[in-house]
Structure 1
Amino acid sequence: MDNVLRYAKLMFLCLGILTLTSCEPDDEATFDDLVRYGWAGDLGFSDKYGEPLQSGLVLDRDGFGVDDQCYFDDLNHVAFSLQVRWMLVDGVLSLDYGNGYPLLEIYDVYIYGDELTGILYVDGVRDGPVTLYRY
């Protein structure tokens, strides 16, 4: 009886470990979805007059990409094009635009269908939920 109880405890421990590891974000699958498509949405950029800009991210497999920014009322005209370095680690998408721009991080990146959702942090400060749309 003592061996059965010990075996049952071991089985529950193994089951718990498998359950916890299956809840981790799958960075490999997310990575593949990120680089396959362009992603557009509001990442908080604006022009020198304060007019908001929509970001159009295209991320390459090598960790570099481009953010073509457009005015919301004229999405066919690129106002600015910024180079970006990016990485995805443990479900956090980091976007580094270089000197003069804050580090953007999207925590809890989740891609479902044509939407990428997460929580946007700007230089480590929580900005709020963000949604990017596949194009």
Structure 2
Amino acid sequence: MRKYLGILFLFTLTLTLTSCEEDDQYDIESIFIDRAWTGDVGMNADYGEPLFSTFTFGWDGFGEEYQYYQLDGRLYEHFRFQWYWEDSSNRNLVLDYGRAGISYMDDVRIAGNRMYGTFYLSNDAVPFEFRLDME
């Protein structure tokens, strides 16, 4: 009987932890969706000038990125993307820019008015630790 109770306990614990992970993603979504997040994700313009980006994420799974020159704040580029979680058990966001490629925001976490994580321009890109501030 104890063996079965132990198995039942482990099963219940697994279900509880799994449901918490999905809740965590919903909680973080409720913070970052429909807000603008601005900061440096390690991007440079064609001639090497540093850029900063402003991201917005919509409830519909689409978002926009505006890239600006760090020196004078002029607009450099504008992109639309589709965003989604890599899978339901982590905090890795996939940003699908269509023909422009796929980028990744891994280990996304929010503390106060700041979003933190690791940005990958593509699968084989060098990671960049980012910090975006909520506007």
Fold shared by both chains (TM-score > 0.5): yes
**Which amino acid is the alignment partner of residue 107 of structure 2?**
D
CA deviation after TM superposition for structure 1 residue 33, in Å:
1.7
1:1-135 matched pairs, under 5 angstroms: 3=1, 5-6=2-3, 9-10=6-7, 12-14=9-11, 16-17=13-14, 20-21=17-18, 24=21, 26-75=24-73, 77-89=74-86, 90=88, 91-99=91-99, 101-125=100-124, 127-135=127-135
Q: Check the 8 A contact 1:46/1:53 in 2, yes or no.
A: yes
CA deviation after TM superposition for structure 1 residue 22, in Å:
6.2
- Unaligned 5+ residue runs, structure 1? none
Which has the larger Rg? 1
Aligned length: 130
For 1:92 and 1:17, the matched residues in 2 are separated by 21
1:76-100 deviation digits (Å, cap 9, x = unpaired): x32322222222343221112232x
Q: Check the 8 A contact 2:41/2:128 in 1, yes or no.
A: no
Q: How well do the aligned residues superpose, as a CA RMSD in angstroms?
A: 2.5
Residue range with higher mean Cα deviation, 107-116 or 90-99: 90-99
For 1:132 and 1:67, the matched residues in 2 are separated by 12
**Which amino acid is the alignment partner of residue 105 of structure 1?**
Y
State the TM-score, normalizing by the size of structure 1: 0.76
State the TM-score, normalizing by the size of structure 2: 0.76
Q: Check the 8 A contact 1:31/1:88 in 2, yes or no.
A: no
